[in-house]
């Protein structure tokens, strides 16, 4: 698809699937030939990150940054119908738990950014691994397990997102030290990182997957409790899930239902 066709398609979805401000920002970038040259490289994210002169006059407000993170979450999730709503569910779950843990409004905004971007590194994971219905072999698992550190390397190139980067890139770490990629444990993991880990697991358990239906209330809590007993999850955060489970799941379900509608609208737009 040509650059002109891509921009025209996105303009047609402005105000419905995509924030008009983001589409307008893309119009500005699309006029620059360097943008499309970087997009054509083997690693477009790295190429764009290494071209700060393209963005130095395009400072983003907090609202624009949030909209951009949501757009990236759609890019991540829409690669597969099996993950089309996962990131939105994780972000909403993480914000809810952060609120119940006493995080203030700016910290909750940071948590939403981290939730939206926690799987950013999966853009570098081949689709055949993302879509594989069965267990991954050792080599595939090694590739998949690189996504947190790949996401971290991308986010570290954005000034001011240090806290968000830590939370997002540590969502597979575990309090007992058996997680990845860094094997962090104990006080090395902030409460924000522990919240995002629980949010990721909770959302994965409750949502449908190609090999199983989403788990119900009791089964989900049993799995969370078992993982907590083995130091895979933080007991404080797990207790918040127990205390607010019904409301938490309603928030997750509402967010993922909206994301599913956006996913269907996106692909129906491509078919026109």
Residues marked active site are found at 122
H or E element in which residue 266 lies: helix 245-271
Collect all residues with Cβ–Cβ distance below 8 Å to 137 and sequence separation of at least 6: none
Residue carrying structure tokens 């119009």: 27
Residue 122 to residue 64: CA distance in whole angstroms: 23
Beta-bridged to residue 209, according to DSSP, are 212
Q: What b/e readout covers 40-70, taking b as 16+ CB neighbours within 10 angstroms? A: eeeeebebbbeeeeeeeeeeeeeeebbbbbb
**CA 53 to CA 72: how far, in whole Å?**
21
Dmax over Cα atoms in the chain, in whole Å? 55
């Amino acid at each position: 698809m040509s650059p002109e066709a891509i921009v025209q398609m996105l303009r047609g979805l402005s105000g419905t699937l995509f924030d008009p401000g983001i589409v307008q920002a893309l119009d500005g970038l699309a006029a620059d030939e360097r943008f499309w040259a970087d997009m054509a490289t083997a690693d477009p994210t790295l190429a764009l990150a290494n071209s700060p002169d393209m963005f130095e006059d395009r400072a983003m407000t907090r609202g624009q940054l949030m909209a951009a993170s949501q757009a990236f979450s759609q890019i991540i999730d829409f690669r597969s119908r099996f993950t089309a709503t996962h990131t939105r569910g994780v972000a909403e779950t993480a914000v809810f738990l952060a609120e119940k843990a006493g995080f203030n409004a700016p910290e909750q905004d940071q948590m939403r950014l981290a939730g939206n971007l926690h799987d950013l590194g999966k853009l570098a994971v081949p689709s055949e691994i993302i879509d594989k219905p069965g267990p991954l072999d050792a080599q595939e698992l090694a590739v998949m397990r690189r996504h947190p550190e790949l996401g971290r390397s991308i986010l570290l190139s954005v000034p001011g997102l240090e806290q968000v980067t830590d939370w997002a890139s540590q969502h597979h770490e575990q309090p007992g030290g058996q997680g990845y990629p860094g094997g962090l444990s104990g006080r090395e993991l902030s409460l924000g990182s522990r919240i995002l880990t629980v949010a990721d697991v909770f959302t994965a358990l409750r949502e449908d997957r190609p090999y199983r239906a989403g788990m119900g209330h009791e089964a989900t809590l049993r799995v969370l409790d078992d993982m907590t007993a083995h130091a895979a999850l933080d007991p404080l955060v797990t207790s918040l899930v127990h205390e607010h489970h019904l409301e938490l799941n309603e928030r997750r379900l509402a967010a993922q239902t909206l994301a599913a509608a956006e996913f269907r609208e996106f692909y129906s737009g491509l078919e026109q």
